[in-house]
Structure 1
Amino acid sequence: MADRPRRTGWSWCTSQLNPRLNSEITVSDIDQCLPQTQCTVCGFPGCLEYANALFNNETQINRCPPGGAVTLSSLANQLNHPEIPLADDCAPYAGRFVAEIIESECIGCTLCIDPCPVDAIVGASRQMHSILADDCTGCELCLNFCPVDCIVMVKHSDHQKGETWPEFLDSEVTRWRHLAARHRSRMQTQQESTDVAQREEIKQEIRKAVNRERTKRWKTKKRATRLSHSQTSSQ
């Protein structure tokens, strides 16, 4: 989002009373403060959605455990808000982990592929899946979708101290942001294709129903005509 949306009406009045809304920032600025793990611990579908909620003053700045003190401080500075402790319903960050598939147990069901917010899982139906470790954010969202529990979380082995966040390299965060955007686009396209297919299916069902009704009426009319001819002949 390049430009900050213009605030009018009640939103403008609120911004005058709330300093969080009065600074010249954008959703993109807020999103830059987040580590892009897309873990949903904050209660939103992803980091961008959390940034949107913060921009619209719909949530608090203390809902990102992976970002830790760095994110909390950055958000407090961006939004002119005092730093506050991590929200009680957000579990503390346990450190950097990545997902790993136990190959001998994978049944190739593909159920874990779409839930991955950065498309780090590759595979095809009835074929063994693999996880791209460099792209995995450790969000754990894939775990609940595996019907045979063959996905496990392992400690990140190639850990390097990051420039902004202790646990994440800036290059990783940038890549995750790009991958998450690509994933959202793919899922939207997939949903639109599904919607089109469903609409076409509904149209076909309507056509079939109309044709059945037409056939029914034609048969009824034909029987009535035959009955009329029969009665006329008998007279």
Structure 2
Amino acid sequence: MYRLCFGGRQTWKSHVYLVVWCLLQAAVPPAALGNFLADTKAVLNSCKDHWTLHTAIPLLFQMTVCVDVRVVVPGAWVAFSYSSVHTPKPELGLEGDDEAIYGWLLRVRHRFPLRLSPNRWHRVCLRMDVPGNTFSLEVNGQTVAERTVIAQAIPTSGSLWLGCHRRGRRPGARLGRVELYLFRMWADLGHHGLCEDGTVIGWNAQSWVTSPAASQSDPHLLCGETDAKTPNLYRNL
């Protein structure tokens, strides 16, 4: 690559074009070179299908986790859950039903009285700040709730599932069906780009193991198109 970009004799104009091309190549994140799942979504039908994380989560004192959620069939749904080996209740999680969205933090379920409109994509983010003792929910770029909590770092010895985990299934609940896209995690409280991959957990092929029917290609997803869509894809509740 070094010789390709900087070796050899070039005319002034061709040299400028080559330098610009090299800079653009250097600016492309590694995930965009083939591992980023730009046109792939998770299709989760009740508790039969799931994705599991292939890598470990480090100890985090600040965290932002975002996932795009589309409720296809109304009912109780689980976007993700992260549980340690010591308890079936999630250390971190996101789920919902026809009445509310629920965020799990350190085995405590927080109820947020709003629901996602069916058959529309919504970007849902949870933020945890241990020094500030806060836990917040953001939907489509708007902070809709912030709770004061006695927070501590989430245990590192656990498993992360996308979809309904059988041991956390609510008895008698009418299960819905959801699709997920762009599950990502960062070790900060910042606001990140629509197609920016996560630094702690990314939406890439190296991070995930999927059940056979839980993965589907869709050329109409936000980051799978050549022409970038606007945030209007994520409409109001």
Question: TM exceeds 0.5?
Answer: no
Q: Give the helix-richer structure, 1 or 2.
A: 1
Structure index of larger Rg = 1
Using the size of structure 2 for normalisation, the TM-score is: 0.22
- More relative contact order in 1 or in 2 (CA 8 Å, sep 6+)? 2
Q: Give the strand-richer structure, 1 or 2.
A: 2
Using the size of structure 1 for normalisation, the TM-score is: 0.22
